[in-house]
Structure 1
Amino acid sequence: MAGQVRVVLVHGSQLSAAQWTRYATLLGPDVDLAVPDLPAHGTRRDEAFTWERALEVVGEAVDGGVPGVPVVLVGHSLGGYLAMAYAAAHPQRLSGLGLLGSSAVPAGPGAALYRSIASAEQRLGVDRMSRALDRQFAAMLPEELAAVIKEAGYGFDGIPAAWAGVMGNCRPAMLGEVTCPVLLVNGQLDQLRVDARRYARAAVNARWVRVVTVPHGLHVFPLTHPHETAAALWELVSGARES
């Protein structure tokens, strides 16, 4: 369809496609929206997480639309690092790449942060972590969205393998051959924004690169600040239509 763009939104760790519930309305009717669940999350909770299978899921979503329609790939947190890895393997496939809350180099202090989060989750256990996330989202989100996320459930089993994949595979240099526009969006209060400029500098072949900071946003800013996030993504969608 003329003017249509396929937008693939890849969720963060623990969550599911439910995190994108409001984005079909926010991005508009001319967007062919795909929101896959990663292995060990959502509808794929019973599937073991491997980095390779997660990239296959992303690739299936990218290729699942009408041939010839431009594709914008967007990921949040874990999903952002997977989107980056997919783009590195297919540097000319995409018409836009959006990396949300995935701008910290996962090595050194960054890797220590990821390990501490994973360790805390392992110690607390599934039930306590689920209750904690339920309370967190109930306090931060509209009641309807919090209920949708709670109903979809959380994926904890894949966390060690997922973040091992991030720490072992993801570096700014991965953006070096990517030719499409690259958008890096982070919450102002998100610790994982610390290396955004470093990732931006690495995208030397991108048509353009933008770094956007969402005021007062935490790491879950795509959930708490959907209008600001969608407005930033709209630049990628509009650019894809013109390409």
Structure 2
Amino acid sequence: MVRVVLNGKLVVVVHINVTVTPTDSVLPPIVFTHGWVDNSTVWNSVRRELGDRTTMAWDLRGHGQSDSPPPGEYGREAVLADLQHVLGQFDKPVVLAGHSLGGYLSLAYTLQHPEQVAGLALIASGPGFRNADAREQWNRAVDLSAAKLDLPAGSEEISKHTDSWVLDELGTITAPTVVIVGENDKRFQPAMKVFEAKLNVIHSAVIGGAGHSVHRKYPGPVAAAIRQLDVARN
């Protein structure tokens, strides 16, 4: 692990596990970001459905085969720096596809680097909370869940919310966006309405019978929804 200064802050740079499936496609590569306590392999079935496309999936720090830095090194800025690093191998804008936390991070990255993002696929994701009490309630729930799991020390920070920056700036994002949610995912269904009101949503998909992990059980419909970004591009 290496410590570097990024945007005036000291950040621990860690090894990030990345898998890339290259193709000859001229369409934007699709970069998949998983949710909390998950890993990049969760995208395998969706990526197979998109086998004609160049795709990448990566493990968040403290997840899968990526390194686990010490506590205090799992904040949003550090994770976005990881994403910036792994995207360095592409010489053109990409589609950012993210599930749950991965969707939130994709939004945050788009706010920082809009020129690098050709489109967004938000899968069972939310934009955070404007109300401080709601953030605190969410963070307490994260702590309770983390206490029951065998996680790297301090890694629950990656899933916590400390501000409403993404939600406040949502309307400035212009990238074409698809929003996907499971029919039974009651927690994240309201976020679809927020995204439709604030973002350039060109397609929304509610997947029948699906819960929060819609991409696990219904990779075909999820991949088909992501392909709607190509329809809009044409």
Q: Which residue of 2 aligns with 1:25?
A: 48
For the pair 1:118 / 2:142, whether they are aligned, the reply is yes
Q: Which residue of 2 aligns with 1:52?
A: 77
**Mean alpha-carbon deviation: is it higher for 105-114 or for 174-183?**
105-114
Aligned residue for 2:97, secondary structure, equals strand
Q: Which residue of 2 aligns with 1:130?
A: none
Instruction: Identify if the C-alpha distance between structure 1 residues 238 and 183 changes in structure 2 by more than 3 Å, giving closer, same or farther.
Output: same
- Structural RMSD (CA): 2.4
Cα distance between partner residues in 1 of 2:116 and 2:212:
28
Structure-to-structure mapping, 1:132-147, within 5 angstroms = none
Structure 1 stretches lacking a partner, 5+ long: 127-154
Q: Which residue of 2 aligns with 1:71?
A: 94
Q: Which residue of 1 aligns with 2:65?
A: 43
Instruction: Identify if the C-alpha distance between structure 1 residues 62 and 235 changes in structure 2 by more than 3 Å, giving closer, same or farther.
Output: farther
Instruction: Identify if the C-alpha distance between structure 1 residues 125 and 93 changes in structure 2 by more than 3 Å, giving closer, same or farther.
Output: closer
Conserved? CA contact 1:34–1:61, under 8 Å: no
Structure-to-structure mapping, 1:72-91, within 5 angstroms = 72-91=95-114
Cα distance between partner residues in 2 of 1:57 and 1:216:
34
Cα distance between partner residues in 2 of 1:229 and 1:235:
10
Structure-to-structure mapping, 1:1-243, within 5 angstroms = 3-29=26-52, 31-47=53-69, 48-65=73-90, 67-68=91-92, 70-103=93-126, 105-108=128-131, 111=135, 114-126=138-150, 157=153, 159-164=155-160, 166-169=161-164, 171-190=166-185, 191-203=187-199, 206=200, 208-240=201-233, 242=234
User: TM-score, normalised on structure 1?
Assistant: 0.74
Cα distance between partner residues in 1 of 2:230 and 2:153:
34
Aligned residue for 2:111, secondary structure, equals helix
- Residues paired across the two proteins, number: 206
Instruction: Identify if the C-alpha distance between structure 1 residues 173 and 183 changes in structure 2 by more than 3 Å, giving closer, same or farther.
Output: farther
Aligned residue for 1:197, secondary structure, equals helix
Cα distance between partner residues in 2 of 1:13 and 1:184:
19
Aligned residue for 2:89, secondary structure, equals coil
User: TM-score, normalised on structure 2?
Assistant: 0.77
Conserved? CA contact 1:37–1:43, under 8 Å: yes
Structure number with higher strand proportion: 2
Structure number with higher helix proportion: 1
